[in-house]
Amino acid sequence: MSEIDNLQKADGIEENKSIINNDDTTENTSSEINETTPVEISQINSDETPVEVTEPVNEDSPEEKTEESDASEKEDVINEIEESNAEDAEDEGNKERHTIEVKEYDKMSLESLAIELEKLLKNEKIQAIKAPVNDINNEFKTKFQALLDEKKTEFLNDGGNEIDFYYSSPIQKRFKTAYKEYRNKLNDHYKSLEKNLKQNLADKLEIIEELKGLLSVEENINTTYKHFKELQEKWRNTGPIPRDKYNNAWNSYHHHVERFYDFLHLNRDLRDLDFKHNLDKKLKIIERAEELAQDDNIMRSFRELQELHKMWKEELGPVAREHREGIWERFKVATKIINDKRQVYYKEIDKVYEKNLENKLKIIASIDAINTQENSSHSSWQKKIKEIEALRNDFFNAGKVPIKVNEATWAKFKDSVRTFNKKKNAFYKGLKKEQFENLKKKLELIKIAEDNKDSEDVQVTTALMKKIQSDWKKIGHVPRKDSDKIWKQFKTACNYYFDRLHSKRNAANHEQVDAYNKKQELLSSLKELSLSGEKDKDLSTIKEQIEKWKNIGRVPNDKRYIEGKFNKSLDGLFSNLKMDKNEVEMIKYENKLENLNRTDDDNRNLDNERSFIRKKIDEVKSQINQLENNLQFFTNVDDDNPLVKEVHNNIKTHKQALTLWKTKLSKIKELY
């Protein structure tokens, strides 16, 4: 059995047990107890071991008063604290780690996360930012993956192939650059730390060797005691050592400190002076702990409490036996108050996390409800896409949830969104096929428009252009990438044709306005026209005016009322010639037909006129038949009867009218 083992057994300390030696000089090079592990009162044992010890320490320890049922739990907690102390001993930046502000990274944008990472690299020690950097990195990956899924969906909806999808963001590049810098700096830190750990271990082993030599040095006890205190201070100021060497080095150091105190009992004055110094310091620690127990800033109080326990355990030696249990109990009470407040604080945080979880589950349920709805149109899908986007934002802004369900909640959310995207993609794939069919139809209309844009057949082409424009509106959507291109192509062809047509019509309109003005002048001259009284001569004069009128040309459509004025003037002139009414009517009708034949859409106007004449002929024939049928009802009535005479006169009038209409029809046929 080693020398260290012998001493531990003699002092009642069993190796690897949960009770920490009650000599407070036990080394803990951690700058503070791990923040995530509450400091229970029973975890740090009572005060110092007296110099002259004849009984096992654990019999005097306050821990012996605790319930046996807590022993296993305490042992686990102590082991966890000791392991944490050894781990923290390798981290010189432990203090700095706890001073970094914890922010709500889940509510930050991608750009804000990149900026925050750059700030940490610039302003904080590299060994102090591991936790926030990990949080930032996880949040950035989550949000960027969501953005990537969104961009991929848009790409597929636009007709792209999944294998061709690629998306790169300047923010992603910026973040990757900063994160790579963090990894490089951290690696450099660990290399430097490893070198320092080895040197610190060598320095502490040298201190242990010097402690060994104190007992064999022949010099004044005061000088030896001063040298001992210098070695203690040197040990405390020496930096961290490798974790796997931590316990062995400390046990060896502690063993030789114990031997020196045994040696020191020969000079009780120095020992009592040391006890008094340690008591004063520990009372100040207790007073500060009691102040912290009243502080409302729970986490700050807890961090400082860890420092107080470190000072109590590492920096101060034993006190007199009569004060030992009393000050330890007082320190325990203050520590328990702070611990209890911290537990309440974490319970409140847990309540917030549970509420956030409840909200996130409601959001997921809302997405699932949308997934059950049927959407059969582009507009309805666009509406649902906006709703899902709003729910996604609500989910990301809902805050953190308990760690134990974080991954499961995120997976459930992704599954719900993925289900929506699958249904949406299936709809748009079907819609895409329809859009390609629509594209083919519209390309055919473009070909028709371009083939006929230079046509001179105004009547046919204008009707055709109007029809294909109407057909274009009836055809549904085409792929977005083709939409603007084909519309511009179709619009250009149609505009080209109608611009030509309007240009011709504008020129014709100018001529028609000029013709109107000339006809106004001719109409005014007819009012002053005087006839000779000779029928043939006057008839020739009137026909000469009619010919002049015809030669002037067509007037604008909104000025065609002037033709009625001209016919009215002709009626006045013809009335002086004592001519047959039907003959006069035919002269005016021939003038009308001439005007109809001069128009651009003459065929249509002549067709309409022919249909009108035929309809009038049918009407007159029907009226004559009706009148002749009526005569059959007059039996045994003389022809001199007034009613019979009226019927015969009406038949005669209608037959004359029928002759006139037939003459007009023959004139129209001559034009064809």
pLDDT score at 139 = 84
User: Quick one: pLDDT band at residue 99, thresholds 50, 70, 90?
Assistant: low
Per-residue pLDDT tens digits for 39-59:
333 333 333 332 222 222 233
533-572 pLDDT tens trace: 777 787 788 778 888 887 887 777 777 788 888 878 877 7
Please give the pLDDT value at position 613: 83
pLDDT for 265: 65
Tens digit of pLDDT for each residue in 189-228? 888 888 888 898 999 899 989 888 887 777 777 788 888 8
- Residues 566-600 have pLDDT tens digits of 878 877 777 777 666 777 777 777 777 776 665 54
616 is a domain residue: yes
Q: Does residue 406 fall inside a structural domain? A: no
3-state helix, strand, coil split of the chain in percent (to 5) is 80, 0, 20
CB 461 within 8 A of CB 497: yes
State the pLDDT at residue 601.
Answer: 52
pLDDT for the residue 278: 85
Residue 28: is it exposed, middle or buried by C-beta count within 10 angstroms (0-12/13-18/19+)? buried
The pLDDT of residue 487 is above 90: yes
- Any domain includes 655: yes
pLDDT exceeds 60 at position 26: no
- Span 334-359, mean pLDDT? 90
Look at residue 285 in the predicted model and tell me its pLDDT: 94
Question: What's the whole-number mean pLDDT along residues 395-420?
Answer: 88
Residue 108 has pLDDT above 60, yes or no: yes
Asked, for residue 611, whether it belongs to a domain, the answer is yes
- 650 within some domain: yes
pLDDT at 85: 43
Question: What rounded mean pLDDT belongs to the chain?
Answer: 76
- 447-461: string of b/e by CB count within 10 Å (b at 16+)? ebbbebbeeeeeeeb
Residue numbers of the domain that contains 610: 603-672
| pLDDT (tens digit per residue) in 217-272 | 777 777 888 888 888 888 888 888 888 887 788 778 878 876 777 776 656 777 77
pLDDT for 88 equals 52
In the structure encoding, which two tokens stand for residue 147, read together? 């953005």
pLDDT at 374 over 80: yes
d(CA 655, CA 603): 29
- What local confidence, expressed as pLDDT, does residue 164 receive? 77
pLDDT the model gives residue 443? 92
8 A C-beta contact, residue 651 and residue 574? no
pLDDT of residue 173: 92
pLDDT for the residue numbered 24: 36
One-letter amino acid for residue 99 of the chain: T
% of the chain exceeding 90 in pLDDT: 11
- pLDDT score recorded for residue 597: 63
How confident is the model at residue 86, as a pLDDT?
A: 47
| Predicted local confidence at residue 11, as pLDDT | 31
Residues counted in the chain: 672
Confidence of residue 1 (pLDDT cuts 50, 70, 90): very low
| Stretch 122-134: mean pLDDT | 87
| Predicted confidence (pLDDT) per residue in 159-170, tens digit | 677 777 888 889
| Between 425 and 76, residue with greater pLDDT | 425
More confident residue, 672 or 301: 301
Q: Which two tokens stand for residue 545?
A: 């005016």
Report the run of H or E that residue 219 belongs to, with start and end.
none
64 is a domain residue: no
pLDDT at residue 506, rounded to an integer:
65
CB burial readout 620-632, b (16+ within 10 A) else e? beebbeebeeeee
The burial class, CB within 10 Å (0-12 / 13-18 / 19+), for 133 is buried
The lowest-confidence range among 70-84, 135-149, 357-371, 471-485 is 70-84
Task: Answer yes or no: is 510 within a domain.
Answer: no
> Between 86 and 311, whose confidence is greater?
311
Greater model confidence, 600 or 111 = 111
Q: How far apart are CA 490 and CA 465, in angstroms?
A: 11
Of 371, 353, 361, give the one whose Cα is nearest residue 395.
Answer: 361
Number of structural domains in the chain = 1
CB of 28 within 8 A of CB of 246? no
Tell me whether residue 629 is in a domain: yes
